[in-house]
């Protein structure tokens, strides 16, 4: 996913900071206060692309990969075939102050169910 951004500003030729346009007469560098005639940038446009990866990197975010879970067995009757054994695992699906969700899979027919 990419985000597109365009505006009628350019960068300061002295320090590279993006110019702002405080009046209809000139553009100004917010860092070094250099002025540029508005006629030099009128009707011109810059655009750039920011990717989702760049946003994550800038914010210091990492992609959390799905971890493999170790399944445990429990005596639980299958609603579909009546078998008395199922594999299960738990995950925190809601906020931390609420209980975990338990997921069950019948060891005979593979029917899946869950309990909140």
Positions at the binding site for Zn(2+): 12, 15, 29, 32, 78, 81, 106, 109
Report the alpha-carbon distance of residue 45 to residue 69 in Å, rounded.
51
Binding residues: 12, 15, 29, 32, 78, 81, 106, 109
Report the alpha-carbon distance of residue 86 to residue 88 in Å, rounded.
6
Confirm if 101 and 93 have CB atoms less than 8 A apart. Answer: yes
């Amino acid at each position: 996913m990419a985000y597109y951004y365009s505006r009628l500003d350019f960068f300061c030729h002295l320090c590279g900071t993006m110019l702002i346009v405080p009046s209809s007469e000139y553009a100004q560098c917010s860092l070094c206060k250099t002025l540029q005639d508005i006629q030099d940038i009128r009707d011109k446009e810059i655009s750039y692309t920011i990717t989702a990866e760049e946003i994550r990197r800038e914010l210091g975010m990492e992609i959390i990969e799905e971890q493999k879970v170790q399944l445990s067995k429990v005596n639980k009757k299958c609603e579909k075939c009546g078998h008395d054994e199922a594999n299960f695992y738990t995950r925190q699906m809601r906020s931390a102050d609420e209980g975990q969700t338990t997921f069950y899979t019948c060891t005979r027919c593979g029917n899946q169910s869950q309990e909140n």
